[in-house]
Amino acid sequence: MVSGLDHNFNPQRVQRFLVAAKDSGAEAVILLNKSDIAGDPEEALEEMKALAVGVPVFLTSTVTRKGLKALTATYAKRGATLAFIGSSGTGKSSLVNALLRDEALPVGEVREKDSKGRHTTTRRELVLTPSGALVIDTPGLRELQFWGAGDGIEGTFSDITALALRCRFGNCSHEAEQGCAVQAAIQAGKLAPERFAAYQKLKLEAGLRGEKFKKASAIASKPGWRQRSDHQKPFRHRFHRDDE
């Protein structure tokens, strides 16, 4: 997952991509790119580590080549497959080119006021790096929505899931109940409130979308629905000529 440390930096968006990666079974890695133009890249690094517990986070720059050596040594090994995902303008294609050490993929400029880039990559590109790893460059995504990503959310926030098992009540909402292990961890400074807020927001969104999908499926699965729909053929007019 690539996020630019410019106006594009959005930790909540990064967490959404992490859920999608976890749900797919892929190993997630966060690249905070454009560290050469960030005001305080180390602060952004610590913030991201607190919100994405257990996920490796790298500061990278295609200008200074910061983090690229460590990224190649750790993940871009022979036989490995890497997929660069993220919003437009985060520098995904530039990172791939840096790993290739040439200009194999086209790159585009970003708007200075909001760091939004054009969709330079309009299709998925699969390239072979000198280290022997395969790299997939994907088009930038403007929005990411969930459909049945419950397992991905629980996996991404496994620390909160583990804390919830220690709550006094099995149906604890983690808000004001006595014996809530989640709230106790927040008060003790062991769980960032922002991380828990993101967890609740994503759970709510996935639940709402799941319920919407479930309702639509429930109608189609009711006994007799298919039979009724088969009998309800569209009414067709038959026109006769005057001479018939």
| pLDDT tens series, the chain, 244 aa | 899 998 778 888 888 888 888 888 889 999 999 999 988 999 999 999 988 888 999 999 999 999 999 998 999 999 999 988 888 888 888 888 888 875 555 554 544 444 444 445 446 678 888 889 998 877 755 555 554 456 778 888 999 999 999 999 989 999 889 999 999 999 999 999 999 998 998 888 877 554 444 444 444 445 554 444 444 444 343 434 444 4
Record the tokens describing residue 153, joined without a space.
């959310």
Closest of 100, 90, 162, 179 to residue 136, by C-alpha = 100
List phi, psi (to 5°) of 48. Answer: -70, -35
What residues contact residue 17 under an 8 Å CB cut-off, 6+ apart?
A: 1, 28, 85, 86, 144
Tally of CA atoms within 13 A in the half-sphere of 34 that contains its CB: 18
Handedness of CA 71, 106, 35, 153 (dihedral sign): negative
What residues contact residue 204 under an 8 Å CB cut-off, 6+ apart?
A: none
Class for domain 2-137, per CATH? alpha beta
* Distance (Å, whole) CA 94 – CA 87: 13
Closest of 42, 20, 23 to residue 32, by C-alpha = 42
Q: What Å distances lie between residue 124 and 25, 138, 148, CA to CA?
A: 19, 5, 24
Q: Write out the E strands in the chain.
A: 2-4, 30-33, 57-59, 81-84, 125-128, 134-137
CATH architecture of 150-222: Orthogonal Bundle (1.10)
* Distance (Å, whole) CA 222 – CA 88: 43
* Distance (Å, whole) CA 231 – CA 216: 21
Provide the residue ranges of all domains of the chain, joining segments of one domain with +. 2-137, 150-222
